Amino acid sequence: MMKYKPNQTRTYDGEGFKRRAACLCFRSEKEDEVLLVSSSRHPDQWIVPGGGVEPDEEPCGAAVREVYEEAGVRGKLGRLLGIFEHNQDRKHRTYVYTLIVTETLEDWEDSVNIGRKRKWFKVDEAIKVLQTHKPVHAEYLHRLTDTCSSTLGPANNGDAQQSRVMDNKVPHYVVCSTQDSDLFDR
């Protein structure tokens, strides 16, 4: 299913979730420094680069494209960390990958068009920065060392975050759900 919006095509899966993709961009294979970008709506706040999957686009391709547009980097696509769901009003399903940065552009699409910035953070610092504005993005980083189980534990707001294995279309991926209503407000 597709929904058209000026300058944007939104795609949805069979369950009505908006299809999204993102990458945790690392400076090296140590995965100890991650690149965050400024939010387009809140330029003083940091987010993980990502966005909507276009029609006939695979999530891994969308993740690489979004990182190039939003962060101005290219690199080696790594593993899928998980598929994160947001089940409230917006119903997003985001495929989150790792990417080792091999090329950094001086000027890139979002830096020129909207003044987006990027900054390297140590992973623990990035988690703290993301907790206040984009808690689910902080969860992406927690996934680096954690394995998603039936209950990940309480979020900052006290809601439990549930996870489940997807249906037989992609049985080897893990889906993490969150109840935060502010997740993709960019």
Asked if residue 153 is part of any domain, the answer here is no
Other CB atoms closer than 10 Å to residue 5's CB: what's the count?
A: 8
Please tell me the distance from the alpha carbon of residue 39 to that of residue 178, in angstroms, as a whole number: 20
Has residue 160 been placed in a domain?
no
Instruction: With beta carbons less than 8 A apart as the criterion, state whether 24 and 42 touch.
Output: no
Our count of domains for the chain comes to 1
Position 11 in a domain: no
Average pLDDT over residues 94-109: 96
Strand partners, 100: 26, 76
pLDDT digits (tens, 9 = 90+) for 116-175: 999 999 999 999 999 988 998 999 999 886 643 333 333 333 333 333 323 333 323 344
Q: Residue 39 contacts by C-beta under 8 Å, 6 or more apart in sequence?
A: 45, 46, 47, 133, 134, 186
Please answer whether residues 99 and 23 qualify as being in contact, where contact means their C-beta atoms are separated by less than 8 angstroms.
yes
Instruction: For residue 169, tell me if it sits in a domain.
Output: no
Question: Does residue 27 sit in helix, strand or coil?
Answer: coil
Q: Is the residue at 138 inside a domain?
A: yes
Q: Which residues are catalytic?
A: 69
Q: How remote is the C-alpha of 58 from its chain's centroid?
A: 15
Q: Which two tokens stand for residue 113?
A: 């068009």
Of 19, 21, 174, residue with least CA distance to 96: 21
Q: What is the mean pLDDT of the chain?
A: 78
Q: What is the pTM of this model?
A: 0.76
Please state, as a whole number, how many other Cβ atoms lie within 10 Å of the Cβ of residue 97. 23
Domain for residue 24, yes or no? yes
Domain membership flag for residue 184: no
Determine the structural domain holding residue 111 and report its residue range: 18-148
Residue 182 has pLDDT above 60, yes or no: no
Is 119 part of a structural domain of the chain?
A: yes
pLDDT, position 176: 43
Question: Given a cut of 50, is residue 21 above it in pLDDT?
Answer: yes
CATH number at residue 28: 3.90.79.10
